Amino acid sequence: MVSQKVVVKNPTGLHLRPAGELCKEAVKYQSSITFAFKGGTANAKSVLSVLGACIKSGDTIEFVCEGEDEKEALKAVVEAVESGLGE
């Protein structure tokens, strides 16, 4: 299991479009990919789960990846968030 914290930089947080981009990146990997935020956990492969977390700009989330390609998965989702998820 590997984990890393990242700050969401999108000015409008993780609304539908960036949530979809995050999920699109996460489903490329076999590992389970979740993130922790304010005491809760969300599945990064589910758009509804990501939207339900209500992530705003400037919030810090911690990705947790577990599985055979966990290191690659963690690097990819962290880079996706840091790059602004297409916004």
Active site residue 28: no
Residues 76, 21 contacting (CB under 8 angstroms): no
Of the residues 2, 4, 9, 15, only one is catalytic, namely: 15
The full DSSP string for 22-47 is HHHHHTTSSSEEEEEETTEEEETT-H
* Residues 6+ positions from 11 with CB-CB distance below 8 Å: 57, 87
Query: Catalytic site residues?
Result: 15
